[in-house]
Structure 1
Amino acid sequence: MRSLMANGRIPKKSIRPLPETHEPISGDRARKLILERRAWDGMRVLGHLNLSRASALYTLPENLTCESLDISDCPNLTFLPKGLHVTHWIEIADSGIMHLPKGHGFVLRWRGVRVSDAIAFETHTGQDILNVENVELRRVLIERLGYDTFLQQVGGVVRDRDTDAGGERQLICIAFEDDEPLMLLKVTCPSTGHLHILRVPPYLRTCHQAAAWIAGFDNPDDYQPVIEA
C-alpha cells in the first residue's frame, strides 16, 4: 500500500501523449502556413501546392506530400526536404535548386516543359543550345543561360537601331531554322546606366515598337515618353 501512496494520494498512472495528427489541407491553406513558417512535418496537401514567386521561402517541411509542386521563381529555396513525396511533377524554373541526388525519382518541369536533370542543372554554351533539336528544350536552355549571355556567344543580326535618353538602342534578331526567331531589345536604362537585353515578340520591326510593347502599349504611336526608364 505504501508503494501506491505518495503524500497521502494514490499516484496517477502516467499517460503518454498521443502524437499530433493533422488532416490533409488544401493547397491554398498549405501555401499560407508554409510562407508564415507555421507548417508541420508530415503535412499532407490535397492536390496541387503552388509556392511560386515566394522569394522569402527557404525551406519546406519534411515528409511533405502533395500531388504536384510549383517552386518556380523561389531563388532562396536551395534544397528539397527529406521525405518529400510528389505524385506527379515539380516545377523548378528559376528556383534555387541547383542539383538533386541521382535516382531521386521526381518528374521535373521548367515552365511546363518536362526536363531531364541534364537540361535542368548542367551548364550549356550557346553553341550547345543551337545544336539541341527539340524546340521546347532549346527555349528552356536559352532562358537558363540568359538572353544576354546567349546573344554574346552566338551573335545576332541588328534589325533596327535608334537612340533614347539612355543612348543607343538595338533590335537584334537571332534566327532558327525550325522555330520563330528570337527578337531582343538591347537598351540602357537612363536612370541607372544598366544595360538590359529584353525579349520581345518576333513580329516587331523597330526599337520604338519594342519599347512600346514592353511598356504595355498596343499602339506604338501612343507611346511617347519624355524619358524611357
Structure 2
Amino acid sequence: MWCFGISGLNQHQSFRLLEENNTELRGILIQAIGYNRICDELKAIQLDSFREYDLIKIDADADVEPIVLLKMICPSTGYTHVLRVPPSMESAREAITWINWGVDPLYFAVES
C-alpha cells in the first residue's frame, strides 16, 4: 500500500509505479507523477505515432522483457491513457488494432 501524499512523491516513484498491481491506484499515481516525468525517469523512447496515439518503449530493467506502452490523449477530456501492449509491437497502428480486438483505427470515427 502507498502511504504518502501527492506532495510526497519523490524522483524515484516512477520505478515503484511499475510494481503497483492495482489499476485504479496506478492511474492515480500516473496522474500525480505526470506522464512526462515518468517517461524521463524510466528512459522511455517513442517508437511510433498514429493520430493521438504514441507507441513507447521502456528498456528499464523493470521487467523480464521490454515494456511497450500505447499512450493516448483523449480528445474530449485531455486525459492521458496508457496501456501495456506486447513487446513485439512495432507500430502505433498495430498496437491500437491489438487493443481494440482487431479493429483497425482507420475504421474509428475521428473526434473533433
Using the size of structure 2 for normalisation, the TM-score is 0.60
1:140 aligns with 2:20: yes
The aligned counterpart of 1:181 is: 66
1:148/1:128 Cα in 2 relative to 1: closer, same or farther (>3 Å)? closer
- Are 1:200 and 1:213, in contact at CA under 8 Å, matched by a contact in 2? no
The aligned counterpart of 1:204 is: 89
State the 1:121 CA deviation: 2.4
Describe the superposition over 1:17-64 as per-residue Cα deviations: whole angstroms up to 9, x where unpaired: xxxxxxxxxxxxxxxxxxxxxxxxxxxxxxxxxxxxxxxxxxxxxxxx
1:228/1:205 Cα in 2 relative to 1: closer, same or farther (>3 Å)? farther
| Poorly superposed stretches of 4+, deviation over 4 Å | none
Give, as a single letter, the amino acid of the residue that structure 1 aligns with 2:68.
Answer: M
Greater RCO (CA < 8 Å, at least 6 residues apart): 2
The aligned counterpart of 1:216 is: 101
Question: SS at 1:173's partner residue?
Answer: strand
- Structure with the higher fraction of residues in helix conformation: 2
Give, as a single letter, the amino acid of the residue that structure 2 aligns with 1:225.
Answer: Y
What 5-or-longer segments of structure 2 have no aligned partner? none
1:149 aligns with 2:37: no
- Are 2:14 and 2:38, in contact at CA under 8 Å, matched by a contact in 1? no
Q: Which has the larger radius of gyration?
A: 1
Describe the superposition over 1:101-145 as per-residue Cα deviations: whole angstroms up to 9, x where unpaired: xxxxxxxxxxxxxxxxxx432354452443x5xxxx842188251
Question: SS at 2:19's partner residue?
Answer: helix
Report % sequence identity.
Answer: 20
1:121 aligns with 2:29: no
State the 1:150 CA deviation: 5.1
Give, as a single letter, the amino acid of the residue that structure 1 aligns with 2:107.
Answer: P
Matched positions, count: 97
1:152/1:176 Cα in 2 relative to 1: closer, same or farther (>3 Å)? same
The aligned counterpart of 2:48 is: 160
